[in-house]
């Protein structure tokens, strides 16, 4: 198994991509785009079967061969195609794996071969809901847990469709946002963060607030490097990706998106987010703001929540894994005692 793999997890739209990009510039860390292995492959383990079975490893290889394509990671998908022209080639490379952790370790290690890197990381916010499985397969794993203000999170979800390409992806992004549903998504993730913090040794995780990262990137990344056991390198901060869902103009690390929600969310959206997540907001140092709402608009948004949930689940059907386990993980987190 890999030596202390790094899992970048957290609430969606919380800077996980930016954090992973920074870590990926470290001379020792291989960090590809989002590899949703636990949601996409492991969640189907009962259907796929024992990895030592020829039929099972064949199906697993087929899913892994196109996994980056399903999550719009073009450069990573290109690398997989170059390394393994067909899923049969990947299946052969996975021969001898004994369990699902071994499969992920082999898959990431094969991609890392030929680089100067010696340690792999995985960037998938949803792995927050699989931390127990991750710890089971990788006892020495380190978690970099990203969190962000609920209101900035709402705006990021609301505006994501503006900076993506492809009609299918644009339409999917539009359907994912609803103030009530999206607020509960954040709340569920934050309660899961609290569970991780209570069950995983403190030496194996570090919390990164997006607002702190973009305000003081060197300070925060030094803390992250200390937590994962690597030396900080100044070159890590030379990222050329943009870190905002509301604009694709600014590149690198910038803080202009932190308070944009004050002017770009409606009062009703702000009020709903604050109401649903007031306990979690307080726990992570975020303050409420006073807003004046229109009762009719507020009621209409709440009435539309069931439709918004159905829309989001349907739009995400190809990338969320089996529906019942998916809902059990996310809705279940809302009812578990974690504070």
C-beta of residue 103 within 8 angstroms of C-beta of residue 59: no
pLDDT of residue 71: 84
Domain ranges of the chain: 6-28+118-335
Of 2-6, 185-189, 230-234, 277-281, the range with the highest mean pLDDT is 230-234
pLDDT of residue 314: 64
Residues 6+ apart with CB under 8 A from 94: 51, 57, 60, 61, 64, 103, 106, 107
pLDDT of residue 68: 95
Q: Which helix (H) or strand (E) holds 228?
A: helix 217-228
Q: Which of 146, 162, 74, 64 is nearest to 105 (CA)?
A: 64
Q: What is the DSSP letter of 26?
A: S
pLDDT of residue 206: 98
Distance CA 238, CA 236 (A): 6
Is the C-alpha dihedral spanning 90, 2, 19, 129 positive or negative? positive
| Mean pLDDT of all residues in 248-268 | 81
pLDDT of residue 128: 96
Q: Which of 123, 146, 139, 153 is nearest to 38 (CA)?
A: 123
The four Cα atoms 231, 235, 239, 243 give a dihedral, to 10 degrees, of 50
pLDDT of residue 72: 82
If you search the block for the tokens 């962000």, which residue do you land on? 148
CA distances from 150 to 10, 209, 269 (A): 13, 12, 10
Q: Does domain 6-28+118-335 have CATH number 3.40.50.11720?
A: no
Task: Please write the tens of the pLDDT for every residue from 47-85.
Answer: 999 999 999 999 999 999 999 998 889 999 999 999 999
Confidence at 161, pLDDT banded by 50, 70, 90? very low
User: Could you tell me where the DSSP H helices lie in 177-216?
Assistant: 179-199, 210-215
CA distances from 264 to 13, 109, 159 (A): 16, 43, 10
Distance, C-alpha 110 to centroid of its chain = 22
Mean pLDDT, rounded, of the chain: 87
Confidence at 157, pLDDT banded by 50, 70, 90? confident
């Amino acid at each position: 198994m890999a030596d202390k793999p790094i899992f970048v997890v957290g609430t969606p739209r919380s800077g996980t991509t930016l954090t992973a990009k920074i870590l990926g510039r470290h001379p020792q860390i291989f960090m590809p785009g989002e590899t949703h292995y636990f949601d996409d492959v492991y969640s189907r383990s009962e259907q796929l079967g024992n990895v030592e079975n020829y039929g099972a490893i064949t199906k697993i290889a087929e899913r892994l061969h196109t996994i980056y394509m399903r999550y719009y990671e073009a450069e990573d998908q290109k690398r997989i195609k170059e390394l393994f022209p067909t899923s049969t080639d990947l299946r052969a490379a996975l021969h001898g794996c004994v369990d699902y952790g071994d499969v992920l370790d082999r898959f990431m290690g094969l991609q890392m071969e030929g680089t100067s890197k010696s340690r792999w990381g995985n960037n998938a916010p949803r792995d927050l809901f699989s931390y127990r499985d991750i710890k089971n397969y990788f006892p020495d794993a380190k978690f970099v847990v990203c969190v962000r203000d609920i209101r900035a999170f709402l705006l990021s979800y609301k505006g994501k469709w503006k900076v993506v390409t492809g009609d299918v992806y644009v339409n999917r992004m539009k359907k994912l946002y609803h103030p009530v549903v999206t607020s509960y998504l954040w709340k569920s993730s934050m309660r899961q963060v609290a569970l991780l913090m209570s069950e995983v040794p403190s030496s194996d995780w570090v919390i990164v607030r997006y607002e702190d990262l973009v305000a003081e990137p060197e300070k925060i990344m030094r803390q992250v490097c200390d937590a994962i056991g690597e030396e900080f390198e100044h070159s890590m901060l030379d990222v050329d990706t943009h870190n905002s869902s509301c604009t694709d103009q600014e590149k690198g690390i910038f803080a202009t998106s932190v308070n944009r929600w004050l002017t770009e969310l409606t009062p009703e959206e702000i009020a709903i987010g604050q109401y649903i997540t007031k306990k979690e907001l307080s726990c992570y140092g975020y303050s409420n703001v006073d807003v004046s709402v229109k009762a009719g608009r507020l009621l209409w948004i709440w009435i539309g929540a069931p439709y918004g949930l159905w829309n989001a689940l349907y739009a995400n059907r190809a990338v969320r894994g089996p529906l019942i386990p998916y809902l059990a993980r996310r809705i279940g987190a809302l009812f578990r005692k974690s504070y």
